[in-house]
Amino acid sequence: MKEIRIGIVGSGFMGRTNAETTTKYLDGARLVSISGGSRAAALASEYGAQHDTNPRDLILRDDIDAVFISTPHAVHA
């Protein structure tokens, strides 16, 4: 099975929850990068992922297959 490479936009409660889920419970998935929010760099470091300073850069990466949008509903767009 091909590995699914994951990015996360958002570094609050849901960003942490999705990082934990990806790294510990999703077989065949690998957390690649986290972006968005003041805690993104620290969260990425804690889970062994890279940090993109701009969410747009994360979304446009060729080495990410799927992105969890982990921001509050009002800022999804």
Give me the phi and psi of 39, to 5 degrees please. Answer: -100, 5
| 4-75 homologous superfamily | NAD(P)-binding Rossmann-like Domain (3.40.50.720)
Instruction: With cut-offs at 50, 70 and 90, classify the pLDDT of residue 72.
Output: confident
> From the CB of residue 41, how many other CB atoms can be counted at a distance below 10 Å?
16
Average pLDDT over residues 45-56: 97
Strands (E), the chain: 4-9, 29-35, 50-51, 66-69
pTM of this prediction?
Answer: 0.94
Average pLDDT over residues 11-39: 97
Which 8-state DSSP code applies to residue 13? H
Q: Where are the domains of the chain?
A: 4-75
